């Protein structure tokens, strides 16, 4: 059902309404406990690096202070920056974290930021992002599209006799923010340039926004001698296609670094494009050179990311803008489901020889799948959003366990921008949320009712439906609410404390 939002009286938003107990608890938890997979020694050098590193980690952790590396990922605009900012702010000021046991019972004495340990990774710009959210005229932080890291240290003194005996401990949380798109590149490791080209070119045939690139590709002869201008033209046109595809909601946009090149822009590892294999291949040929660059992309860009960052993660949060995809329609929802399945492949080391030996038995211990921006819904609908989230990742989960990782699905809002309001409509009541619009006005908004059974959405999406049949789901771009925080209180959120308890509660 479509519902135009209604304008309500202007004013600041009162403090958040308490959530019903059942809504707070609306999360699903599953766990598996299977042994590791067989190791495949395909790349000895990689496995050596990994084992030396784990020895070092073990040594420093045993003698010094434990470090928990938390990876935060999600496709673009999923809510990563807001999540990390609010999580850190709420761990520093813990007044709104009742469901994080160590915060509620006072075990966490203090939390403070420290210089991060990795000198080559940009620092997560916490102060600027928090500044945006808590400004006099609050706004959302800028889009960030690269890896970054932040270290938050917790001083913990467990309660009770044991705690008194052991004295306070320091636990470091290294929070790493990286784009979910980079995980999609994992699939490239299993493919040759020839395979990737064939699949990509086939997929492009049916896509309008790919016609420009296909026309350019027509004019280039893969069997001809390499001409750098040709290679550049092809790569630029292919990059242009990837940008448009992503803008139109497609998630299968590899190679991921073409979209966020950083300081690799213009370098040969990013100057290739899919081309059909010529009958005969020779040295110095355009196709052969592209083949070589594709291999270089895998070994110089994709593998180092997995080795240097991904393989060291202990706990992982996967943020998903499920509401945004549902609002965009069945095609976007199905594409999101497929991208999720691809991304989750990275958490099953057994699926890929390189990952298997990279992990060497180490594993991501916990994975949280969180549907973000749940403050767009009245809490009565949160269990339904959680069920959809759970169903979205179930597919991937049923095909293989996550190598023993414990997983949970939740609906959260890292920064709660709305309050709940029930309005009368034609003698009926509507459970709405109210927030601030771009123009500073307040509006109450009814997003539509999510179905009880997730398959009523995922089924039609999978079957390629153009539109939702019996409903329409709206989403509204609320601005963050103006905050007047009491001392000791972090920004308002929904279930961020529950998320934190799942992620780190057992180690505090
Ligand atoms: N209402 C609401 N909106 C949110 C919340 N979190 C994120 N958003 C919205 O989602 C947008 C994207 O959030 P970010 O945290 O910047 O997302 P990101 O994943 O870091 O995005 P990129 O850096 O572009 O990949 C924000 O600008 C907000 O409009 C939330 O908790 N509540
Ligand atoms: Mg970001």
Q: Is 105's pLDDT higher than 80? A: yes
Residue 435 beta carbon below 6 angstroms from any ligand 1 atom: no
Distance 124 CA to ligand 2 centre (A): 10
Listed range (36-40, 171-175, 352-356, 379-383) with the worst mean pLDDT = 36-40
pLDDT at 6 over 80: no
- Is residue 7 over pLDDT 60? no
**pLDDT mean over 172-188:** 88
Q: What pLDDT shows up at residue 60?
A: 46
Q: Distance (Å, rounded) from C-alpha 446 to C-alpha 440?
A: 19
Q: Mean per-residue pLDDT for 96-109?
A: 95
Atom number of ligand 1 nearest to Cα 144: 23
Alpha-carbon span 251 to 187, nearest angstrom: 13
> Helix, strand, or coil here: 407?
strand
Mutate to test the pocket of ligand 1, among 77, 256, 320 (most ligand atoms within 8 A of CB): 77
CA of 433 to the centre of ligand 1 (A): 18
Average pLDDT, stretch 303-329?
Answer: 89
Q: What is the pLDDT of residue 38?
A: 27
What's the pLDDT at 25?
A: 31
Residue 182: in which H helix or E strand, if any? Answer: helix 181-184
pLDDT higher than threshold 50 for residue 229: yes
Average pLDDT over residues 278-283: 92
What mean pLDDT is predicted for residues 472-477? 78
- Residue nearest atom 4 of ligand 1, based on CA coordinates: 373
Assess whether the C-beta atom of 481 lies below 6 angstroms from ligand 1.
no
Give pairs for 381-385: CB < 8 Å, separation 24+. Answer: 381/431, 381/447, 381/449, 381/450, 382/23, 382/26, 382/411, 382/494, 383/22, 383/23, 383/26, 383/411, 384/450, 384/451, 384/452, 384/454, 385/322, 385/323, 385/411, 385/450
Mean pLDDT, residues 264-287 taken together: 92
Mean pLDDT of 437-458: 88
User: Is 371 buried (19+), middle (13-18) or exposed (0-12) by CB count in 10 A?
Assistant: buried
Stretch 426-455: mean pLDDT, rounded?
A: 88
Mean pLDDT of the chain: 82
Q: Given this model, what pLDDT does residue 361 score?
A: 65
pLDDT beyond 90 at 61:
no
Residue nearest (by alpha carbon) to ligand 1 atom 2:
373
Question: Mean pLDDT across the stretch 463-470?
Answer: 83
- Cβ-contact 354, 42 below 8 angstroms: yes
* Pairing label, strands 366-371, 315-320: parallel
Alpha-carbon distance 204 to 241, whole Å? 9
Give the tens place of pLDDT for each residue, 40-50: 333 444 444 44
Ligand 2 geometric centre to CA of 79 (Å): 7
Q: How does residue 209 score in pLDDT terms, banded at 50, 70 and 90? A: very high
Asked if residue 373 has its Cβ within 6 Å of ligand 1, the reply is yes
In this predicted structure, what is the pLDDT of residue 465? 87
pLDDT exceeds cutoff 80 at 447: yes
Please give the average per-residue pLDDT across 418-443, as a whole number. 88
Which stretch of 204-213, 286-295, 352-361 has the lowest confidence by average pLDDT? 352-361
Report how far ligand 1's centroid is from the alpha carbon of 339 (Å). 19
Q: How far is the CA of 81 from the centre of ligand 1 (A)?
A: 7
Give the model's pLDDT for residue 156.
Answer: 93
Q: What is the rounded average pLDDT of the residues 36-60?
A: 42
Q: Whose CA is nearest to atom 32 of ligand 1?
A: 373
pLDDT of residue 59 exceeding 70, the answer is no
Q: 80 C-alpha vs ligand 2 centroid, how far in Å?
A: 5
- C-beta of residue 352 within 8 angstroms of C-beta of residue 186: yes
Long-range contacts of 297-303 (CB under 8 A, 24+ apart): 297/188, 297/255, 297/257, 297/269, 297/270, 297/272, 298/188, 298/189, 300/269, 301/185, 301/255, 301/257, 301/264, 301/269, 302/185, 302/186, 302/188, 302/189, 302/255, 303/46, 303/189, 303/354
pLDDT of residue 14: 33
**DSSP letters of 214-250?**
HHHHHHS-TTSBP-HHHHHHHHHHHHHHHHHHHHTT-
Q: Reply yes or no on whether the pLDDT at 260 is more than 50.
A: yes
């Amino acid at each position: 059902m479509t519902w135009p939002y209604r304008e309500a009286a202007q004013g600041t938003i009162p403090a958040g309404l308490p959530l019903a107990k059942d809504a707070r608890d609306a999360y699903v938890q599953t766990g598996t406990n299977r042994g590791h997979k067989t190791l495949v020694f395909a790349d000895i050098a990689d496995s050596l690096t990994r084992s030396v590193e784990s020895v070092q980690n073990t040594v420093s952790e045993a003698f010094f202070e434990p470090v928990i590396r938390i990876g935060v990922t999600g496709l673009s605009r999923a809510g990563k920056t807001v999540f990390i900012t609010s999580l850190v702010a709420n761990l520093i000021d813990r007044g709104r974290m009742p469901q994080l046991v160590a915060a509620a019972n006072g075990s966490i004495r203090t939390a403070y930021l420290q210089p991060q340990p990795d000198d080559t990774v940009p620092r997560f710009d916490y102060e600027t992002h928090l500044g945006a959210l808590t400004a006099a005229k609050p706004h959302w932080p800028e889009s960030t599209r690269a890896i970054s890291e932040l270290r938050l240290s917790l001083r913990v003194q467990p309660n009770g006799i044991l705690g008194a005996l052991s004295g306070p401990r320091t636990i470091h949380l290294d929070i790493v923010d990286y784009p979910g798109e980079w995980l999609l590149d994992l699939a490239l490791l299993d493919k040759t340039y020839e395979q990737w080209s064939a699949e990509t070119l086939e997929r492009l045939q049916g896509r309008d926004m790919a016609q420009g690139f296909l026309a350019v590709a027509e004019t280039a002869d893969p069997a001809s001698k390499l001409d750098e201008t040709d290679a550049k033209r092809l790569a630029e046109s292919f990059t242009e296609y990837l940008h448009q595809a992503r803008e139109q909601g497609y998630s299968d946009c590899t190679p991921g670094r073409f979209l966020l090149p950083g300081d690799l822009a213009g370098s040969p590892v990013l100057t290739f494009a899919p081309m059909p294999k010529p009958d005969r291949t020779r040295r110095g040929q355009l196709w052969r050179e592209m083949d070589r660059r594709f291999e270089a992309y895998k070994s110089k860009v994709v593998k180092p990311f997995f080795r240097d960052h991904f393989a060291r993660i202990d706990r992982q949060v996967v943020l998903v803008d499920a509401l945004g995809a549902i609002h965009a329609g069945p095609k976007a929802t199905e594409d999101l489901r497929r991208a999720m399945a691809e991304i989750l492949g990275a958490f099953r080391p057994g699926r890929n020889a390189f990952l298997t030996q990279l992990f060497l038995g180490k594993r991501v211990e916990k994975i949280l799948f969180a549907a973000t921006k749940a403050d767009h819904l009245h809490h009565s609908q949160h269990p339904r959003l959680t069920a959809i989230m759970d169903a979205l990742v179930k597919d991937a989960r049923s095909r293989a366990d996550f190598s023993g990782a414990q997983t949970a699905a939740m609906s959260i809002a890292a920064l709660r921008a709305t309050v709940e309001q029930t309005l009368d409509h034609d003698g009926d009541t509507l459970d709405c949320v109210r927030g601030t619009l771009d123009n500073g006005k307040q509006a109450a908004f009814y997003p539509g009712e999510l179905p009880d059974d997730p398959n009523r959405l995922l089924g039609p999406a999978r079957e390629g439906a153009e539109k939702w049949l019996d409903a329409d789901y709206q989403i509204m771009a609320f601005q963050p609410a103006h905050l007047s925080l009491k001392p000791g209180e972090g920004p308002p959120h929904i279930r961020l404390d529950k998320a934190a308890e799942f992620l780190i509660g057992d180690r505090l």
